[in-house]
Amino acid sequence: GENVEQHPSTLSVQEGDSAVIKCTYSDSASNYFPWYKQELGKRPQLIIDIRSNVGEKKDQRIAVTLNKTAKHFSLHITETQPEDSAVYFCAASDASSASKIIFGSGTRLSIRP
């Protein structure tokens, strides 16, 4: 089955700087890659996703890139703000059961004022 590795596990950046979180996946047949944000004590919420037929997708200050050949994808947050502090999870669809997604272990992002 699919395996998703995520790093770093923790990340601290100065407010206004950029943050990058990287993930790798094992199954080349995976074709859907969502990113979820989980604020402290709250439920995970989808912030952006990308499909395998696209190399990059952007939504305001966040962007995701996908390299199918290397089987890795990344989340980029520019001009970070205090409200960006949260745990971010990447995920990849499981080719054996495409409606199932396998999550990475999460990155705790802290924005320093």
**Rule CB under 8 A: is residue 24 a binding residue for other proteins?**
no
Burial 41-64 (b: 16+ CB within 10 A, else e): eeebeebbbbebeeeeeeeeebbb
Residue list 28-87, contact with other proteins (CB under 8 A): 31-32, 34, 36, 42-46, 49, 51
Near other proteins by CB under 8 A: residue from 12, 14, 67, 97:
97
Total residues contacting other proteins (rule CB under 8 A)?
26
Bridge partners (DSSP) listed for residue 36: 46, 89
Span from 14-22, 62-70, 75-83, 90-98 in contact with other proteins (CB under 8 A): 90-98
H/E element holding 60? none
Alpha helices in 1-113 (DSSP H): none
Span from 13-21, 26-34, 61-69, 76-84 in contact with other proteins (CB under 8 A): 26-34
Distance of closest approach, residue 86 Cβ to other proteins, in angstroms: 14
C-alpha dist (Å) from residue 85 to 13, 51, 82 = 10, 26, 6
